Amino acid sequence: MSTEQHDYDVIIVGYGPVGVTAANLLGGMGVRVAVIERDASIYPRARAISTDEETMRIWQAIGLAERLKQDMLAGRPIDFVDARGRSFLSLAPAARGNGHPPQLFIYQPATEQVLRDGVGRYPNVKVLLGHDCELVEQDDETVTVTTRDLTESTPRTLRGAYLIAADGGSSPIRTRLGIGFDGRTYHDRWIVIDTKVKRGWDTVDRLRFHCDPARPAVDCPTPLGHHRWEFPVLPGEDEQDLISHDYIWRLLRRYGRTPDEVEILRAVVYSHHVRFASRWRVGRIFLAGDAAHAMPPWIGEGMSSGVRDAGNLCWKLAGVLRGELPADVLDTYEVERKPHVREMTAQAVRFGRIITERRPGLAALRNVAFRVLMRVPAFRAYMQEAGWFPANSYRKGLLDRTGGNRAVGEQLPQPWVHTGDGDRVRLDDVLAGRWTLLHTGPARSWPAWAASGISCLQVTPAGSAPAPGTIVDDADVLIPWMRRHHATVLALRPDVVVYAAATGDADLPRPPFVTAPRTPVREQTSPSAATTTP
């Protein structure tokens, strides 16, 4: 724990979805935060268009999930169609146990507005919009940031214990630190067309990948009356011509859309990237989101991966700042997150190859192969149940595997439970971002954990009467999960990942604490945020 006096505990540079999530998380933990953002208002273009149940679980932790879902589309089917519009692969993704819909389509400006309104709950978070981060320096105990209000000429100096660089794929901070951003940029450029729906059509609410080798396309619903299309720029085409209204209408009319149905809002041409920062930490500075990694958009996980970064890093920062965890815990951020990001990126690349195959012979073979495979029950279940989706589990990091239990490193599913008071709530709302012991059967002392004052809850079967110190496993999720993992007691981290586990009479490994964790400060009141419209 640093003895240096700082203006703030954590400085966040960048106020997109990753930075604003980090500000909410840290704000709710009582951490003193300053946010620096160059733009004076929310970026108007909807860059990300979807999110997932794990991301919603993180936003649940900041008390905003239900408000955010009001502006999202959930439960929409996904179709991969051939050049004639015939489906060869159709999915309705199944939930993976996190307590929220498996895929949700978003309108990013509206999502960011709700998240920013959420930050307003915390007087310990200072937000500086319209400020440029000009210089970042650090020593053994302090990060010093020189920032300038773009409407004025006077610079301002901020001093913090740590800094999160959530400043995007071109991250000036990553560049100044000399961190490599290795990988590749794809040759093909894509035009993204955002529209406002004036009158719906029969497939307006379906995500459709048009896998036409002549010109692939993405046809995607977004909420609040928006819709998006994406098309590759073909050889010989001029990018400036592509974003003209005449050319955009040529592309949209190919799929039957007319000016009576949609209004063009904006169009932009961009490249797909597969890149990873060579290091995610330099001293007291951490990279997060696009500053640390970039992936193609094919499975809609770029933004969500950045939110997972914030969810992993922020509780560790808070624990170190409060002196509860040793400082080297912060080294586990990259160790835990980078392998999952690499797996997710690899899966996005694989899906991109399916969608964008340009050789007609291979495209025809792809279409036939998937139609045949989808008749095979095991393959159909694998696709529908998202067996291809990389699990957010950790092999290394802030974990104690000395007992060899297979539950360690896994994130516990989130069912609805009854509390000891008889209230029916989601599991994470009971755990409330705290270190917790969950056990089945009679309680034991687990003395090292008891000495740290860690909450201990018994999981009882569905139909049990609520009682103090228990949670009732209403849907029969937790007890079977623990049984499959051969665990009768779990030590859960604040992010509901299993730190340690044991079975029978075996004792738990010792906790990693330097001092006993304090109950986090949490504000769960959801703001009544206004919806952003173009």
Report the run of H or E that residue 183 belongs to, with start and end. strand 181-197
Return the structure tokens found at 75: 């439960």
d(CA 133, CA 156): 10
Could you tell me the pLDDT band of residue 310, with boundaries at 50, 70 and 90? very high
The pLDDT tens digits for 131-166 are 999 999 999 999 999 999 998 878 999 999 999 999
Question: Residue length, the chain?
Answer: 534
What average pLDDT does this structure show over 439-467? Answer: 91
User: Is there a domain that residue 372 lies in?
Assistant: no
Return the structure tokens found at 473: 């496993």
Helix residue spans in 229-323 (DSSP H) = 239-242, 245-253, 302-321
The predicted pLDDT at position 528 comes to 43
DSSP state of 497: B
Could you tell me the pLDDT band of residue 4, with boundaries at 50, 70 and 90? low
End-to-end CA distance of the chain: 46
User: Is there a domain that residue 39 lies in?
Assistant: yes
User: Is there a domain that residue 487 lies in?
Assistant: yes
The neighbour count for residue 283, using CB atoms within 10 Å, is: 12
CATH number of the domain bearing residue 451: 3.40.30.10
d(CA 254, CA 227): 16
Contacts of 475 (CB under 8 A, 6+ apart): 415, 416, 462
The sign of the dihedral angle between the CA atoms of 154, 155, 160, 165 is positive
Could you tell me the pLDDT band of residue 387, with boundaries at 50, 70 and 90? confident
Q: Which residues of 246-265 are buried (b: 16+ CB within 10 A; e: fewer)?
A: ebbbebbeeeebeeebbeeb
The predicted pLDDT at position 521 comes to 64
Closest CA to 531 of 117, 91, 61: 117
* % of residues, the chain, pLDDT over 70: 96
57 and 143 share a domain?
yes
How many separate domains does the chain show?
Answer: 2
349 and 449 share a domain?
no
148 and 288 share a domain?
yes
> What is the chain's mean pLDDT, rounded?
92
What average pLDDT does this structure show over 301-320? Answer: 97
d(CA 40, CA 493): 37
286 and 427 share a domain?
no
What average pLDDT does this structure show over 308-335? Answer: 97
The predicted pLDDT at position 533 comes to 34
The predicted pLDDT at position 336 comes to 98
The neighbour count for residue 433, using CB atoms within 10 Å, is: 23
The predicted pLDDT at position 534 comes to 36
Over 121-156, what HEC string results? CCCCEEEEECEEEEEEEECCCCEEEEEEECCCCCEE
56 and 155 share a domain?
yes
The neighbour count for residue 114, using CB atoms within 10 Å, is: 23
What average pLDDT does this structure show over 168-190? Answer: 92
User: Is there a domain that residue 79 lies in?
Assistant: no
The predicted pLDDT at position 232 comes to 92
d(CA 136, CA 330): 20
Only one residue has tokens 């540079």, namely: 13
Q: Which residues of 44-70 are buried (b: 16+ CB within 10 A; e: fewer)?
A: eebbbbbbbbbbbbbbbbbbbbebbbe
Whether the CB-CB separation of 475 and 391 falls below 8 Å is answered with no
The predicted pLDDT at position 384 comes to 81
32 and 124 share a domain?
yes
Give the relative orientation of helices 108-119 and 17-28 as an angle to the nearest 10 degrees. Answer: 20
Over 13-34, what HEC string results? ECCCHHHHHHHHHHHHCCCCEE
171 and 52 share a domain?
yes
Whether the CB-CB separation of 298 and 10 falls below 8 Å is answered with no
305 and 439 share a domain?
no
CATH number of the domain bearing residue 288: 3.50.50.60
The predicted pLDDT at position 530 comes to 35
The predicted pLDDT at position 522 comes to 61
User: Is there a domain that residue 258 lies in?
Assistant: no
Closest CA to 231 of 220, 222, 221: 220
DSSP state of 330: G
User: Is there a domain that residue 300 lies in?
Assistant: yes
35 and 167 share a domain?
yes
d(CA 309, CA 338): 9
Report the run of H or E that residue 458 belongs to, with start and end. strand 455-461
| Predicted confidence (pLDDT) at residue 408 exceeds the cutoff of 80 | yes
d(CA 428, CA 97): 12
User: Is there a domain that residue 214 lies in?
Assistant: no
Could you tell me the pLDDT band of residue 239, with boundaries at 50, 70 and 90? confident
Could you tell me the pLDDT band of residue 324, with boundaries at 50, 70 and 90? very high
d(CA 355, CA 19): 31
339 and 424 share a domain?
no
297 and 428 share a domain?
no
| Of 67-71, 189-193, 350-354, 506-510, highest mean pLDDT | 67-71
| Predicted confidence (pLDDT) at residue 532 exceeds the cutoff of 50 | no
Range of the domain at 297: 8-73+102-182+274-355
User: Is there a domain that residue 337 lies in?
Assistant: yes
Residues 340/343/344/348 CA torsion (nearest 10 deg): 170
177 and 282 share a domain?
yes
